């Protein structure tokens, strides 16, 4: 599989990269976006995520509410449109600001992301509004369907249903995905690009951080 270069997907159509980075990090006790898991001179976790998206995406957006704290980010910073919108609000803010018809959306706290899996997803025919991986570890996902909505591709057509849900105070990602044309990436497909099953590990707690450090040290 050839990794897409120069901001174009394998379909030849440019895509936007969106990093949702608005979490409060309360359970971790420190700003996870600023973790330097690759050494004191290495990038922050947020910078690392943006670097990973660079060859795949023609533009990069970051959804966060403290842009003044990140003056040197190589991306355009977008504020949350809904202060209490959670992950749904972050996805909506990014999609509403993008200039391309489709966006690759990832969370800012996934240090084991690998470029090969999103590149393969970008090569899928665009017959969907949302293309979402089905986790090989469904118990680690906070939705009954075992979906990974913050490692997914969304079209601009998702904006209207997202806005309706947010205006109604609904925050369940599973309900939103049920309202659009969704296709999933099966666990056996994911395993081709992430055989260790670690790509979706996100950092919410000190235990998560320790697990990420062990995985990176083992590479």
pLDDT score at 7: 47
Q: How confident is the model at residue 145 (pLDDT cuts 50, 70, 90)?
A: confident
Mean pLDDT of 168-192: 94
At 36-85, the pLDDT tens digits run: 999 999 999 999 999 999 999 999 999 999 999 999 999 999 999 898 89
pLDDT score at 208: 94
Report the mean per-residue pLDDT for the chain. Answer: 90
Considering the entire predicted model, what is its pTM?
0.92
Q: Which of 71, 95, 98 is nearest to 82 (CA)?
A: 95
The answer to whether residue 130 scores a pLDDT higher than 70 is: yes
The answer to whether residue 203 scores a pLDDT higher than 70 is: yes
For the sheet containing 182-185, what is the strand order? 76-78, 59-63, 16-20, 102-107, 151-155, 130-133, 182-185
Q: How confident is the model at residue 5 (pLDDT cuts 50, 70, 90)?
A: very low
pLDDT score at 110: 95
Q: Answer whether 133's CB lies under 8 Å from 184's CB.
A: yes
Q: Which CATH architecture has domain 16-217?
A: Alpha-Beta Complex (3.90)
pLDDT score at 24: 67
Angle formed by the axes of helices 86-97 and 159-167, nearest 10°: 140
Q: How confident is the model at residue 144 (pLDDT cuts 50, 70, 90)?
A: low
Residue spans per domain, the chain: 16-217
Pairing of strands 59-63, 76-78: parallel
Which DSSP category does 133 fall into? E
Element (H, E) at 95: helix 86-97
The answer to whether residue 9 scores a pLDDT higher than 80 is: no
- Strands of the chain, DSSP E: 16-20, 59-63, 76-78, 102-107, 130-133, 151-155, 182-185
């Amino acid at each position: 599989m050839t990794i897409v270069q120069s901001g174009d997907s394998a379909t030849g159509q440019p895509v936007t990269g969106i990093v949702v980075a608005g979490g409060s990090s309360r359970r971790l006790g420190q700003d996870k976006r600023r973790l330097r898991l690759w050494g004191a001179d290495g990038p922050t976790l947020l910078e690392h995520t943006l670097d990973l998206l660079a060859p795949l995406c023609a533009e990069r957006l970051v959804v966060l509410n403290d842009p003044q704290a990140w003056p040197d980010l190589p991306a355009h910073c977008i504020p949350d449109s809904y202060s209490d919108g959670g992950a749904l609000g972050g996805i909506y803010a990014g999609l509403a600001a993008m200039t391309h018809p489709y966006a690759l959306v990832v969370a800012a706290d996934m240090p084991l992301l690998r470029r090969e899996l999103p590149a393969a997803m970008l090569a899928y025919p665009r017959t969907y509004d949302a293309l979402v991986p089905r986790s090989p570890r469904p118990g680690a996902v906070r939705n009954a369907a075992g979906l990974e909505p913050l490692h997914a591709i969304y079209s601009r057509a998702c904006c209207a249903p997202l806005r309706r849900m947010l205006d109604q105070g609904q925050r369940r990602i599973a309900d939103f995905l049920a309202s659009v044309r969704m296709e999933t990436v099966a666990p056996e497909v994911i395993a081709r690009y992430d055989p260790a099953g670690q790509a979706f590990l996100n950092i919410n707690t000190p235990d998560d951080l320790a697990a990420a450090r062990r995985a990176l040290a083992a590479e």
